[in-house]
Each structure stands twice: as C-alpha cells, then as structure tokens.
C-alpha cells in the first residue's frame, strides 16, 4: 500500500495502530522510527480487516447522508432537551448507583457519546438525545461507571452489567445506528 492511500501519524508511541475513519479513510498511527516497509507490511497483514471496515464506514456514510438535516432551531431544541433529559438521567442513575458526580456538560461531539473526567465531570453529545431511552441510560451508566473504573477492564464491564444487564444490546444499537444521529444543520 502506498503512503498516499492512508493517513500516517507518527508519534512517540511504541506500537502501530489502524483506524478506519467515518469516511472510510485509513489512519495509521506509528512510532517515529518505524520504516515505511514495516508499516506497509503491517497494513498488508490486516488487509481483510481494513477492507471490511472501509466498506462498513462507506455504507454508513451513505445512509447518514440520506438523513434529513435539521434546522438551526431544531438543533437548538434538541440541545435543550439533551441538557434537561441527560441531567435528569444522570442524577437518577447516579443516585441509584450510589455515586456522586461533578458538572454535566453537553457538547457538539461527533466522535464520542460521552466522557468522564477523573474529577467527576461528565460530558455528553447532544445527539444522544435522539437515541432510544435504553441507549441513553446505557451511555449514562457507562460514563458513571468510569467514576469507579477509569478503563474498560473486565471489572468495568462487570460493573456495567450489574447495573444494566441489557447493555450489550444498547452497544450494538449504537454501533449499528449511531451514525444516523450525526445530523447537522
């Protein structure tokens, strides 16, 4: 594979990592000293994975492009709803889980549904409010669980499962349908 076929990002990392972006572009993160020959061999060994994920990304991009854009007014209403509903769900679910959290912030994020900072502050994408309620609850529980486990270890997923046994269905829903929530004005 030629370097013009992928985006190469060199850094101080020790390993190679591949990511297929939303538009199907391949992004390769590599150590500064990794040779292009080594990088291309790595890519070639993972060719089937790359092609499968590029197909999926392009299909999702096509179906997302058919989703009707929202007006600025509609987006503002959705942001207000997100702020209200997510704050309510965080309060309720945190209480249920016996946890306390910091501030809640609603953002325009397109790459993450939510984040949890070590200081307890939680951030959610306003787009999440367009998902079904069980999915919203899953994302909130996921982020609240990060108050206890700042990773995605087995222990983290076991904690999520204890609170929300159906979480895998919600993860699958987001994987299969989340791209349809990435609307803009």
- Strand pairing partners for 17? 29
113-130 pLDDT, tens per residue? 999 999 999 999 999 999
DSSP secondary structure string for all residues of 16-42: -EEEE-TTS-EEEEEETT--HHHHHHH
Q: From CA 96, how far away is CA 93, in angstroms rounded?
A: 5
Lowest mean pLDDT among 1-10, 84-93, 148-157: 1-10
Q: From CA 83, how far away is CA 87, in angstroms rounded?
A: 6
Burial of 85 (0-12, 13-18, 19+ CB in 10 A): middle
User: Which pLDDT value is given to residue 21?
Assistant: 86
Task: List, in order of start, the domains of the chain with CATH numbers.
Answer: 3-65 (no CATH), 72-181 (3.30.2010.10)
């Amino acid at each position: 594979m030629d370097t013009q076929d992928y985006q190469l990002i060199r850094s101080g990392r020790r390993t190679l990592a591949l990511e297929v972006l939303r538009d199907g572009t391949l992004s390769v993160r590599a150590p500064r000293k990794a040779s292009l020959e080594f990088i291309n061999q790595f890519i070639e060994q993972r060719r089937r994975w790359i092609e499968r994920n590029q197909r999926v990304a392009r299909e999702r991009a096509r179906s997302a492009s058919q989703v009707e854009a929202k007006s600025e007014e509609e987006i503002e209403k959705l942001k207000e709803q997100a702020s209200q509903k997510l704050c309510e769900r965080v309060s309720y679910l945190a209480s249920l889980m016996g946890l306390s959290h910091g501030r809640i912030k609603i953002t325009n994020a397109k790459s993450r549904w939510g984040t949890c900072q070590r200081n307890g502050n939680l951030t959610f994408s306003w787009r999440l409010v367009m998902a079904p309620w069980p999915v919203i609850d899953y994302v909130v529980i996921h982020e609240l669980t990060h108050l206890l486990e700042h990773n995605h270890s087995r222990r983290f997923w076991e904690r999520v499962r204890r609170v929300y046994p159906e979480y895998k269905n919600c993860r699958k829903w987001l994987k299969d349908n989340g791209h349809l929530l990435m609307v803009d004005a």
